[in-house]
Amino acid sequence: MAVPFMFLAAAIVSLWAGGETSFLRRRGWFWFWALALLTGLQTRVLDPLAFLWIAGFAAAACGFASASAHRGARLAAAAAVLLLAAALMLHRLPGFHNPRVLDAVRFTPDAVPFTLYLNFDKVVVGLLLLRWCHPRIGSFAEWRTMLAATAPRALGVMAVVLGVSLVTGYVRWAPKVPAATALWLGVNLLFTCMAEEAVFRGFVQAQLQRLWGPSVAGRWFALVVAAALFGLAHAAGGAVYVFLATIAGLGYGWIYLRTGRIEASILAHFALNTVHFFAFTYPALQHP
């Protein structure tokens, strides 16, 4: 079952491979994605019905990204993108059998048991949005500029979110290096952070900023709306988790607003999650 997700990971990495004209960046990602679909069907991670939803989302994303589409068609495509993205990321559409790779693991004795799935439906959303609906960094100079602008801001966001998490009793100091570290790091960066940032910052916040024009109020309102939706997407974790996710979403949105780079919010998201994983109770303290 790991093979389809290896191809998915290769497709994601290919989005940033080389410059704008490199083969991997322009075409390689597609062949890796196609191999992920075929091996997903072969290993029964995907049923034939899954291809209907994936094709529908791909068509909506392409329609939205089309420069020749008129305003009404782009609005309809945007609505379809949002509806299908929500359904896929919340695993509400049939045809996907996402494998469970960690089952109720306790990283510390007082932690809530942690279960990890490889979510094909969620990852496809992020992959296609980043390929068709958002520009990506294309040079080392751009990477250096982005990282220099992101690092101090990411540290500030981590201090706020983890500080509030400690004060609310959601976590405690618990340094560790679990046996599942390598698996968690790969899945969290390439699948979780990539997909969530592609949707909430790369699509929702970016398009609301465009819709509401260049005004300062419009940009900040777009940030708040995207952060609120990001918080609500974590409702399964309870009210405190929604609150903390909303604060984190405000931080990621602020970094995205200041840098204009989706890579910045992805890396900030991953950095916070990584510090949480290694240094604090993960995913949260289990209270009586």
What count of other Cβ atoms lies within 10 Å of the Cβ of residue 60? 23
Cis status of the peptide bond prior to 214, with omega within 30 of 0: no
What is the predicted pLDDT for the residue at 26?
78
Residue 24 pLDDT class (50, 70, 90 cuts):
confident
What is the predicted pLDDT for the residue at 288?
67
- What average pLDDT does the structure give for the chain? 95
d(Cα 271, Cα 264) in Å, to the nearest integer?
Answer: 10
Contact 120, 40 (CB under 8 A): yes
Instruction: Look up residue 204 and give its two tokens.
Output: 């929702």
Whole-prediction pTM:
0.96
Contact 157, 271 (CB under 8 A): no
- Residue 19, pLDDT > 80, answer no
Closest CA to 257 of 185, 212, 202, 187: 202
Does residue 26 or residue 231 have the better pLDDT? 231
